[in-house]
């Protein structure tokens, strides 16, 4: 059985890894935002369904990344709370 200090260290490492993942999600979100802005600018005046579909998919991807980032932060907070309790 792991000692309390080992458990705390493992939880801290997990929070650290989740923080790196959250930063990566933020970077991907920024890249999607850039791609979305470029597509919107390029498609001005175009009413082609494919362009509308592409924009909608990128917006949905961005929304889901926002949700993933929020869930990751919530998990980090919960793990940090656990670490302070033990």
- Does the pLDDT at position 46 exceed 90? no
- Does the pLDDT at position 15 exceed 90? yes
Query: What pLDDT is recorded for position 1?
Result: 86
Domains, the chain, with CATH or none: 4-85 (1.10.287)
Provide the strand spans (E) within the chain.
none
- Does the pLDDT at position 12 exceed 90? yes
Handedness of CA 21, 25, 31, 32 (dihedral sign): positive
């Amino acid at each position: 059985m792991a000692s309390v200090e080992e458990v705390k260290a493992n939880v801290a490492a997990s929070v650290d890894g989740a923080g790196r993942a959250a930063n990566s999600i933020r970077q991907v979100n920024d890249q999607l935002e850039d791609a979305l802005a470029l597509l919107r600018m390029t498609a001005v005046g175009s009413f082609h369904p494919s362009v509308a579909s592409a924009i909608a998919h990128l917006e949905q991807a961005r929304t889901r990344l926002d949700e993933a980032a929020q869930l990751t932060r919530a998990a980090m907070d919960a793990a940090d709370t656990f670490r302070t309790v033990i």
